[in-house]
């Protein structure tokens, strides 16, 4: 499948076939995509919870209640569901861990590279913590960068996907024990094989005309 074909064929699946499973090798490829997602100053303010079992999906489905009950089957019937989460803070321990990993991976070749990387990353963290006061929103943006790569990669692999913001984040955080780990859920993505009840598969894609969303200078 070409990239052009993937972006045209990709759509938000409305119903999954519970009898169908995504091969593990394809899931592993998607996890590799998430693991190598870009983030501002390599801050990596995320964590990904992968539910591949019926029990795991049921735990996540607990968050699809009340106004979000319509999303429960999309979680329960999927092959895999990934909760994309963000850290509650970019604390000293995390900053040190990222820096140590960069050093271990051989990223600091030039003299002063390690100190420069650390200083540059901290300047962005401090900017968003103290001046713009939007550190949670900034971290959330990095999670959505990972989401975009995940959805496009799933399309390229022929995997049906449904991104969902329609869930009770508090319920999901409690069900997965996220808050004890300094994490909070941001968005869910169900992966699987669409069923015949997926009405969205037959509908044409709709976007505003190119001349309204592009400016060439």
Whether 140 sits among the annotated catalytic residues: the reply is: no
Q: What's phi and psi for 136, nearest 5 deg? A: -60, -40
Whether 14 sits among the annotated catalytic residues: the reply is: yes
Tokens of 182: 């300094």
Q: How far apart are CA 81 and CA 52, in angstroms?
A: 7
Catalytic residue of the set 165, 181, 196, 205: 165
Whether 119 sits among the annotated catalytic residues: the reply is: no
Catalytic residue of the set 5, 74, 92, 97: 74
Catalytic residue of the set 5, 14, 72, 102: 14
Q: How far apart are CA 156 and CA 41, in angstroms?
A: 27
162 by Cβ neighbours in 10 Å (0-12 / 13-18 / 19+) ranks as: buried
Beta strand 80-87 pairing with 183-192: antiparallel
Show which residues are catalytic: 14, 74, 165
């Amino acid at each position: 499948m070409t990239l052009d074909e993937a972006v045209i064929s990709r759509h938000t699946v409305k119903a999954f076939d519970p009898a169908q499973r995504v091969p593990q090798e394809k899931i592993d490829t998607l996890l590799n995509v998430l693991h190598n997602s870009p983030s501002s100053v390599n801050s990596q303010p995320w964590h990904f919870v992968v539910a591949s079992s019926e029990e795991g999906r049921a735990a996540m489905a607990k968050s699809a209640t009340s106004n979000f009950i319509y999303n429960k089957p999309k979680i329960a019937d999927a092959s895999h569901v990934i909760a994309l989460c963000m850290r509650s803070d970019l604390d000293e321990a995390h900053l040190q861990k990222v820096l140590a990993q960069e050093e271990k991976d051989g990223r600091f070749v030039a003299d002063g590279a390690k100190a420069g990387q650390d200083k540059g990353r901290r300047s962005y963290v401090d900017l968003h913590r103290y001046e713009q006061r939007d550190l949670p929103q900034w971290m959330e943006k990095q999670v959505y960068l990972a989401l975009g790569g995940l959805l496009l990669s799933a399309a390229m692999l022929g995997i049906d996907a449904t991104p969902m913001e329609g869930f009770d984040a508090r319920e999901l955080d409690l069900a997965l024990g996220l808050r004890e780990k300094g994490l909070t859920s941001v968005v869910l993505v169900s992966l699987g094989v669409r069923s015949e009840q997926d009405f969205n598969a037959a509908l044409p894609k709709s976007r505003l005309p190119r001349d309204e969303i592009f400016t060439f200078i």
